Structure 1
Amino acid sequence: MKIRVYYEDTDVGGIVYHANYLKFCERARSELFFNSPLKPFSDDGNFVVSSVNAKFLKPAKLGDLVLVKSEVLAIKHASVVLKQQIFNEKDELLFSADFVIAYLCRAKVAKLSGELVEFFRQNSNF
């Protein structure tokens, strides 16, 4: 998913504020669902980030067009492990993170449905 870096994404020096890399990754995960019949939040359940291991490698700057690439690393009983990376227009890696997203139903950890497992298998790179 391509994202333009706007002034609101940066600090006073025009560099992307560190928390916004996490937001860019969240947008990419949300878009995966918005472009499908499934929804990230429903009465049946929802996903939450249960852990993240992030590395900030190079800065993105005001006006840059960045690309968020995502890969499903593992599908577990009640969670999915994702690697999400952000690249600049020169294809330089700026940010990399491993996310564990847990599935909750009524605020309790719940087993992924067969439909969700198949969804992540079919969308292993997005």
Structure 2
Amino acid sequence: MKTRIYYDDTDAGGVVYHANYLKLCERSRSDLFFEKGKSPAIDGGHFVVRHLEADYFKPAKLGDLVEVTHELIAMKNASLILKQFIFKGEEKLFSMTSTLAYVKEGKPCKIDEETKAFFASVFKESE
């Protein structure tokens, strides 16, 4: 997903506020579904972040055009591990590894085969 950095993404100095990198990644994950005509809310459930690790390399600034990319690390029964990157051109600005748990009514639930196949197809195309 390519996106422009707008004023509301930045702090007073025109640099992207640290928490907004997480928002850019979240939007990009949702766009994976929307671009295929699907919703990230699946069969009464949805994915929530269970764990994440973030690395900030260089700042994005007001007006920058950035791209969020994805790499599927692992698919488990009720969760997946996803690595996301934010680039400005060829320059890596940010990376995040997150464990996303699939939940229904607040409890972990098995990811259905159709959703697993969807993720496999999305990430196969991203390579």
Fold shared, TM-score > 0.5 on shorter chain = yes
Look up the equivalent residue of 2:122 and give its one-letter code.
Answer: N
Partner of 2:106: 107
The 1-side partners of 2:57 and 2:37 are apart by 35
Partner of 2:122: 123
Look up the equivalent residue of 1:104 and give its one-letter code.
Answer: V
The 2-side partners of 1:80 and 1:36 are apart by 19
1:123 deviates by 1.1
1:42 deviates by 4.5
Moved over 6 A (4+): none
Over the aligned positions, Cα root-mean-square deviation in angstroms equals 1.3
Partner of 2:80: 80
Alignment of 1:48-87 (within 5 A): 48-87=48-87
1:102 deviates by 0.5
- Identity over the aligned pairs, expressed in percent? 51
Look up the equivalent residue of 1:123 and give its one-letter code.
Answer: V
| 1:31-81 Cα distance to aligned partner (Å, 9 max, x none) | 011122431124521110111100000000000000101111111010011
Change (3 A) 1:115 1:42: closer
Unpaired runs of at least 5, structure 1: none
Q: Secondary structure at the match of 1:69?
A: strand
> Size of the alignment, in residue pairs?
125
Q: Secondary structure at the match of 1:118?
A: helix
